[in-house]
Amino acid sequence: MSLFLEVVSVVEAVKAVQKIAPPPGCEDVPLEDALYRVLAKDVLADIDIPGFDRSTVDGYAVAAAETTGASEAIPAMLQCRGRIGMGSADAGSISPGSCRYVPTGGALPTGADAVVMIEHAEQIGDDILVHRPVAPGENVVFRGEDFGAGKVVLERGRVLSPREIGVAAAVGADRVSVVKMPRIGIISTGNELVPVAETPGAGEVRDANSYLAGAFVTERGCHPVYFGIVRDERPVLKRAVSSALDRCDAVLVSGGSSKDERDNTAAVLAELGKVLVHGIAIAPGKPTIIGTARGKPVIGLPGHPASAFVVLVAVVDHLLATMRQTAVSRRTVRARLTQNIPSTRGREDYVRVSTSGGEATPVFGKSGLLNTLVQSEGVVRIPASSEGFEVGEEVEVILW
């Protein structure tokens, strides 16, 4: 096997992972278990929302026409016919020249088409003096104005935040159809790796990538399945990847994707399926592998955590979003560079930066250092067509 197949652009790598993303299934879950899940079917309103004309303020339900011309000097006088209780099944009615007190959320009586705020009225015995006119519909939500019965309230593909959960509850959706949560196998390879709880000896390092990749997967609404540390031995790695394929919808393998004879991930993937991409024009993260086995995506990540994280953000994020049938959601800010950032034309560079006061400062460091991950708030993407950015230039920072 050659050290690298043809190196592809980041755009091509993203297209490759989107193409091989397996279609997700769907399942019905109780609404209380649906937070941050992706809707697989539209949620419809079962009834008109609201189901009655209701007041949006504390005040007096009136016929708006009877307040025309009302002012502090010459108020409109109406007779108060009592109060409307919250949750009352019958709000009654008002006749010409009368009004009724209604609380916020209370039903309007028949004959009323507006509500005068209590601050703009004065009660003298059974009479109400209205000091400001109201227009028809003022301070009122009419029946079905929010959502009409049978109308789409939440569309397929929407991620259910607490706001959507509340709306779904209001329209009677006690269960919702959601995309199944993709299960992502996490494997770390390397003879030098030891568990996090162990103190590394000479030539050893702790397994950071399992936790890094697993947390990233969880943050993207997927379920990580950990398969631990695997030694740099092809038969052992092959068994681990095969086991992960049995249980998961996609597999991430970190390490074992270097450009030397120990490129075990590509070799194993070639035996189990097909290598589609072996090398991306990205820095850091060039030796990334993209392939399939048993119809499932297998991604070989660089062994160094900082490089692996950049590939997760730049490429794997798109795979997970496609598997969940949603779009990649990124927080970005605009900032001005405090230093030049050089780049090599022909590759896409992701440079870690810290941000403060509208400025972005590159966090440069030697290859292999971890501190740049915690000293930075995000990365600046330098397109392959550019030779870098200059000090003072405004750039987009992709926040971690």
What is the reported pLDDT for 5? 59
| Helix (H/G/I), strand (E/B), else coil: 307 | helix
pTM of the model: 0.84
Q: What is the mean pLDDT of residues 143-167?
A: 96
CA 318 to chain centre: 12
Q: Is the pLDDT of residue 373 over 70?
A: yes
pLDDT, one tens digit per residue, over 10-49 is 999 999 999 999 998 999 999 999 999 999 999 999 999 9
Can you tell me the distance from the alpha carbon of 284 to that of 314, in angstroms, rounded to the nearest whole number? 11
Can you tell me the distance from the alpha carbon of 321 to that of 85, in angstroms, rounded to the nearest whole number? 48
What is the reported pLDDT for 250? 98
Can you tell me the distance from the alpha carbon of 218 to that of 216, in angstroms, rounded to the nearest whole number? 5
Burial class (CB in 10 A: 0-12, 13-18, 19+), 52: middle
State the average pLDDT for the chain. 94
In CATH, what class is 10-25+181-323? alpha beta
pLDDT, one tens digit per residue, over 290-346 is 999 999 999 999 999 999 999 999 999 999 999 999 999 899 999 999 999 999 999
Can you tell me the distance from the alpha carbon of 127 to that of 327, in angstroms, rounded to the nearest whole number? 58
Q: Is the pLDDT of residue 260 over 60?
A: no
Quick check: 218 and 151 in contact, CB under 8 A?
no
Q: Is the pLDDT of residue 390 over 90?
A: yes
Q: What is the mean pLDDT of residues 190-197?
A: 94
Q: Which of 178, 137, 134 minimizes the C-alpha distance to 159?
A: 178
What is the reported pLDDT for 87? 87
Contacts of 172 (CB under 8 A, 6+ apart): 46, 47
Can you tell me the distance from the alpha carbon of 373 to that of 284, in angstroms, rounded to the nearest whole number? 13
pLDDT more than 70, % of the chain: 96
Q: What is the mean pLDDT of residues 79-106?
A: 93
Residue type, 85: G
What is the reported pLDDT for 183? 98
Burial class (CB in 10 A: 0-12, 13-18, 19+), 136: exposed
- The H-assigned helical ranges of the chain are 10-20, 162-170, 209-219, 234-247, 264-272, 305-311, 317-323, 371-375
CA 355 to chain centre: 22
Q: What is the mean pLDDT of residues 61-68?
A: 98
CATH assignment, 54-141: 2.170.190.11
Whether the domain at 10-25+181-323 and the domain at 54-141 fall into the same CATH topology = no
Can you tell me the distance from the alpha carbon of 204 to that of 206, in angstroms, rounded to the nearest whole number? 7
Domain ranges of the chain: 10-25+181-323, 26-46+152-179, 54-141, 332-399
Q: What is the mean pLDDT of residues 228-238?
A: 94
Cα–Cα distances in angstroms (integers) from residue 388 to residues 2, 12, 178, 297, 336, in the given order: 31, 21, 43, 33, 14
What is the reported pLDDT for 140? 98
CATH assignment, 332-399: 2.40.340.10
Q: Is the pLDDT of residue 372 over 90?
A: no
CATH assignment, 26-46+152-179: 3.90.105.10
Count of CB atoms situated within 10 Å of the CB of 74: 10
Give the orientation angle of helix 234-247 with respect to helix 264-272, to 10 degrees: 50
What is the reported pLDDT for 288? 95
pLDDT more than 90, % of the chain: 90
Decide which of 263 and 384 is more confident.
384
Q: Is the pLDDT of residue 261 over 60?
A: no
pLDDT, one tens digit per residue, over 47-56 is 999 999 999 9
What is the reported pLDDT for 370? 83
What is the reported pLDDT for 1? 44
